[in-house]
Chain A
Amino acid sequence: MSVAEGHLGSDGATHWREERRAIVVNAIGVGVAVAAYGVSFGAISVTGGLSVLQTQVLSALMFTGGSQFALVGVLIAGGGAISAVATSVMLGFRNAFYALAMAPLLQVRGLRRLAAAQLTIDESTAMAVGRSVEHDGGRAARLAFWATGTSVFVFWNLATLLGALGANALGDPKIWGLDAAIPAGFIALVWPRLNDRRSWTIGLAAAAVALALTPFLRPGVPVLLTSVVAVVAGVLAVGKREES
């Protein structure tokens, strides 16, 4: 910001400086909170048999926690590569909708668009949509997106490395109960989404379908087939809305 700008609109400029600081502090806070997932992910992935490099590639290049946990979880459970990839990509599909919401706000092209896409995740989108765009044309929301995305990227990758290297020293995962850490990670990921009766119905129906199919199908396939539950729920929701 130039001196002239600060002089001309000193109230507005001071306000923006304060808002900017608050956004950056929030972004760092979210990054630190997410680091806890990152440590768990690194540890679970490496104790499950992936290499430190594979684990780190996922955090740097895939960079979407639920999908990373899903890929590693299905592979560890012996579900095979195809089921693991399909489950992981389906979970990552929600980012397309975050991107759809962020595109008009960010208005980026070329390399900046490629970077914005990589940083389009739960946290960066949530922090950006939490800010009103009316009074400043989206300046604060854009900063919230980039600052949160960057902060989460840095903390997530450092935490993954820490967890991966730490887990190498742990030995047998069962002694430490680390096999129970995987479902605990998934329930913690889904918990904030279980905020109404409909979500609980969808979630419990999917859990029941997955368990009912487990004895009959290859590991990994039952989880994949619960996507049908989501399709049914979607069709019912749209049908109900059209009725009313």
Chain B
Amino acid sequence: MSATWWAVILATLGCYAAKIGGHSVPERLLGRPLVREISDALPVALLMALVAVQTFAVGQTLVLDARAAGLAGAVVALLLRAPFLVVVIVAAATAAAFRHLGWAV
């Protein structure tokens, strides 16, 4: 079985374990303030790290390419309260336009 399939299966099991765990474990285990605070901060940290890396990295090299223009387009769309699909399309179209016009690779 390929590494991708293993990743799909293991991550799926891990995510389900979190869901069923919350329904099954006693509250005092998960209800501690520190656990709660960390889990509140975790999505913000991981998602923003993903934004940064997926925009400015290729492998282990930092680069500035059309994806940065795409991200800027996405932020403008978010500030204008655009729905998710519009945000993604604006980002893709901005990046594609920058490449097409030769302003970025």
CB distance from B34 to the nearest CB of A (A): 5
> Does A188 make an interface contact (CB < 8 A)?
yes
The residues in B between 34 and 93 inclusive whose CB is less than 8 angstroms from any CB of A are 34, 36-57, 59-62, 66-67, 69-71, 73-75, 78, 83-85, 87-93
CB distance from B16 to the nearest CB of A (A): 7
Chain A CB within 10 Å, residue with most, of B50, B51, B59 = B50
A241 B56 Cβ-Cβ under 8 A: no
- Name the residue on B nearest A55 (C-beta): B8
> Does A194 make an interface contact (CB < 8 A)?
yes
List, in ascending order, chain B residues with CB within 8 A of A175's CB.
Answer: 96, 99
A187 B45 Cβ-Cβ under 8 A: no
Q: Please tell me the size bucket of the interface on B.
A: 35 or more
Q: Kindly state the separation between the CA atoms of A102 and B31 in the bound complex, as whole angstroms.
A: 13
The residues in A between 64 and 115 inclusive whose CB is less than 8 angstroms from any CB of B are 64, 66-67, 69-71, 73-75, 77-78, 80-81, 84-85, 87-100, 102-103, 106, 108, 113-114
CB distance from A203 to the nearest CB of B (A): 4
Q: B interface, by DSSP: helix, strand, loop or mixed?
A: helix
> Does A171 make an interface contact (CB < 8 A)?
no
A211 B41 Cβ-Cβ under 8 A: no
Q: Kindly state the separation between the CA atoms of A203 and B42 in the bound complex, as whole angstroms.
A: 9
The residues in B between 1 and 40 inclusive whose CB is less than 8 angstroms from any CB of A are 3-8, 10-12, 14-16, 18-24, 27, 30-31, 33-34, 36-40
CB distance from A188 to the nearest CB of B (A): 5
Stretch at the interface among A1-9, A18-26, A150-158, A223-231: A223-231
Q: A96-B21, A183-B54, A214-B62 are in contact. Are A176 and B92 (CB under 8 A)?
A: yes
List, in ascending order, chain A residues with CB within 8 A of B23's CB.
Answer: 99-100, 102-103, 106, 108, 113, 116-117, 120
A183 B46 Cβ-Cβ under 8 A: no
The residues in A between 155 and 189 inclusive whose CB is less than 8 angstroms from any CB of B are 174-189
List, in ascending order, chain A residues with CB within 8 A of B48's CB.
Answer: 186, 190, 202-204, 206-207, 226
List, in ascending order, chain A residues with CB within 8 A of B94's CB.
Answer: 177, 180
Q: Please tell me the size bucket of the interface on A.
A: 35 or more
Q: A118-B16, A178-B92 are in contact. Are A187 and B71 (CB under 8 A)?
A: yes
Q: Kindly state the separation between the CA atoms of A207 and B36 in the bound complex, as whole angstroms.
A: 22
Q: Kindly state the separation between the CA atoms of A74 and B95 in the bound complex, as whole angstroms.
A: 20
A230 B91 Cβ-Cβ under 8 A: no
A234 B53 Cβ-Cβ under 8 A: no
Q: A77-B57, A94-B42, A97-B39 are in contact. Are A89 and B96 (CB under 8 A)?
A: no
User: Which residues of B come within 8 Å of A, CB atoms?
Assistant: 3-8, 10-12, 14-16, 18-24, 27, 30-31, 33-34, 36-57, 59-62, 66-67, 69-71, 73-75, 78, 83-85, 87-97, 99
Q: List 5 additional contacts besides A175-B99, A179-B67; criterion CB under 8 Å.
A: A62-B11, A62-B15, A113-B23, A114-B20, A180-B69
